[in-house]
């Protein structure tokens, strides 16, 4: 089963593809898009939930999203039309690592897509290339809320303990790379649990609703395996932080 399709079905009831409630997303956008911000870029925008929320609330804002998932971008485009913000949204079907644009952005975000750049620090290097002087980065990244044991690493699909750090070390590395956290939000346990139950539940429900679909059995199996990997593995170990960062000029 195509992983983009799995992800799209799994996010049906949780459009933000990260463990954040809507009010957390709004608060983070308010911190990243300060008064006169006019240009926003999202690297790995998916279906564009961050861009759409930002555009709907800020009539002067123009936004650009980049993603490799064609259908995700189509959904973003349709949602933008429904909201009446299409004129202010540019979508690019492209590898975010190769994206270039003639004008810099007041804010650049990358949430849940740092793997595309090879981790948090390479993501910040990529973001920096697109930021206007004084611009803000908004980046969402996993961290270890406690030392990962074997069950946690297996539940995350065979990750290594070195793939993430604890929260303090994560922030230290960002600071050492020349960034100053001007805000940050650590996803709460209810946000993490809601995200996982929503992800696994939407996929499992789709399998029940489509028993004749050739992908039905696989969708049910992926949902069950993911749920077990979470509940018996990484629940309590996997954390998620979204940082708003400024570069020293
Ligand atoms: C977990 S989703 C996050 C989507 C969105 N940022 C959100 O918070 O809802 C990760 C996204 O990164 C995209 N992605 C992964 N690698 C990419 C790459 N090299 N270039 C562009 N997008 C990429 C995927 O297609 C997917 O839409």
Q: Considering the chain, what is the average pLDDT of its residues? A: 96
Looking at residue 2, its pLDDT comes to 87
Note whether residue 220 is domain-resident. Answer: no
Note whether residue 116 is domain-resident. Answer: yes
Return the ligand 1 atom nearest residue 11 CA: 9
Interval between CA 71 and ligand 1 midpoint (Å): 12
Stretch 16-34: mean pLDDT: 96
With a Cβ cut-off of 6 Å, ligand 1 is lined by 16-18, 44-46, 49-50, 66-69, 72, 95-97, 111-113, 116
Q: Is the pLDDT of residue 11 over 80?
A: yes
**For a pocket test of ligand 1, which of 113, 117, 238, 242 has the largest count of ligand atoms closer than 8 A to its C-beta?**
113
Note whether residue 229 is domain-resident. Answer: no
Interval between CA 153 and ligand 1 midpoint (Å): 22
Interval between CA 118 and ligand 1 midpoint (Å): 13
The total domain count for the chain is 1
Note whether residue 113 is domain-resident. Answer: yes
Looking at residue 91, its pLDDT comes to 98
Note whether residue 208 is domain-resident. Answer: no
CATH of residue 40 = 3.40.50.150
Stretch 166-181: mean pLDDT: 98
Looking at residue 35, its pLDDT comes to 78
Note whether residue 209 is domain-resident. Answer: no
The predicted model scores a pTM of: 0.95
Interval between CA 8 and ligand 1 midpoint (Å): 11
Kindly report the protein residue whose alpha carbon is nearest to atom 7 of ligand 1: 17
Interval between CA 55 and ligand 1 midpoint (Å): 19
pLDDT band at 15 (very low <50, low <70, confident <90, very high): confident
Domain of residue 148 covers: 19-187+239-247
pLDDT in tens, 185-244: 999 999 999 999 999 999 999 999 999 999 999 999 999 999 999 999 999 999 999 999
Other CB atoms within a 10 A radius of the CB of residue 60 amount to: 10
pLDDT in tens, 79-98: 999 999 999 999 999 999 99
């Amino acid at each position: 089963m195509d992983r983009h399709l799995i992800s799209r079905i799994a996010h049906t009831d949780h459009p933000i593809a990260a463990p954040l409630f809507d009010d957390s997303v709004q608060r983070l956008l308010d911190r990243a898009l300060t008064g006169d911000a006019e240009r926003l870029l999202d690297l790995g925008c998916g279906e564009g939930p961050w861009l759409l929320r930002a555009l709907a609330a800020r009539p002067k804002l123009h936004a650009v999203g980049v993603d490799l998932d064609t259908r995700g971008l189509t959904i973003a485009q349709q949602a933008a039309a429904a909201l009446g913000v299409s004129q202010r949204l540019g979508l690019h079907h492209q590898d975010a690592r190769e994206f270039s644009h003639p004008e810099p952005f007041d804010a650049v975000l990358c949430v849940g897509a740092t793997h595309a750049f090879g981790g948090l620090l390479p993501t910040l290097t990529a973001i920096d290339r697109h930021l206007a002087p004084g611009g803000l980065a908004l980046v969402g990244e996993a961290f270890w809320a406690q030392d990962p044991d074997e069950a946690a690493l297996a539940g995350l699909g065979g990750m290594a303990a070195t793939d993430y750090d604890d929260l303090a070390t994560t922030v230290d590395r960002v600071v050492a790379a020349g960034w100053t956290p001007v805000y940050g939000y650590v996803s709460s346990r209810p946000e993490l649990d809601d995200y996982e139950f929503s992800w696994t539940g939407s996929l499992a429900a789709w399998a029940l609703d489509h028993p004749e679909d050739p992908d039905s059995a696989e969708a049910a199996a992926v949902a069950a395996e993911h749920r077990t990997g979470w509940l018996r593995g990484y629940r309590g170990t996997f954390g998620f932080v979204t940082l708003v960062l400024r570069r020293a000029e």
